[in-house]
Chains A and B, each alone.
Chain A
């Protein structure tokens, strides 16, 4: 049994310690947001936050996550009570198919927590490891910038 702290709750997980976090999040914990995209750390669809850092959940075995705080998109709010970043993405309608969006949002969340005044250039640089095939990039950049404003207390 491994202990995993996800979105503030500690879970006892019955899985091989070498199992990448992604599969445990999706299968054992029933969380949808982190997505399988490439299994290679090339696309960013699986990105979640561990102790404030964006990590590829498709490559990170659960054994290295004991004692670290994992956060997923589900931890930022819900459809009924969306958090600032989620509100900003809805406001900007920053999705088409949306498959890449949860990973991008978690990378953005980690950035904005570190630097709520992140400039557009900062946001672009942070999101460079992420692919979006629908071409929603411009809306994503707008949404992340807007989320920074919301987090800084601008309505």
Chain B
């Protein structure tokens, strides 16, 4: 009985992940680990903002105008209350507004990149697989759009969408319009990469085999080609996320993004800039530093991912 082979226990998913090359290079890169930690910390504090934030800055009942312009860590002259990062002109706790603002920034960024990704993958797969006129039209459109800086395209889409929405809904719709504008300005990258990869994949044997057994074009694109072109898409998505967060902040800073009723980090910086000369530096500094930390760490993570998934570039 003793020479019966011991059945090999199948590896758990966690084990596979821990044994992968990706995890190995991750553990070898201090920059990647630090940025991942920063991203994780920021994302978690944004998600759990209602639990962490000492006050809800958008609940008028919790605000006390007497608390306005309290410097960080010093008790207010009238109420004696003190705030970790100070308060703004309306007595809102800066720490809380940053947490809630980061929620909006991250939501807009992630949703816009997701939208751009879905759109870009779809159009890229179709133009690569179908070819012909469809491909010409899609890729020409992409070329034309690429001529213009994406921030300009986003501004324009935002302006048009704002003109189309009725005045009373403009503030409510602003967040969704932002997602649409940034997403539409950013699909080209995805489409180009997916199209290129699809052109390579579609002549391989497994696609021919799938075609021979009679699978439909849609099924071949989604079930066979898509999984094989995803790794560059992942890299672009990460780098796009950093760009989308900056784009959102820029638009909001310019006053053509998130409204003051739903401020993102960019809106907070816009508000804070007004107090630069009167000496209330904390209203500006802390949102700016948060934005910088967020954008920089996502960016560095993207760089690392690109190098890790594509060793040729190193």
A and B together in one complex: no
Where the two chains meet, the residues of B that have a C-beta atom closer than 8 Å to any C-beta of A are: none
Where the two chains meet, the residues of A that have a C-beta atom closer than 8 Å to any C-beta of B are: none
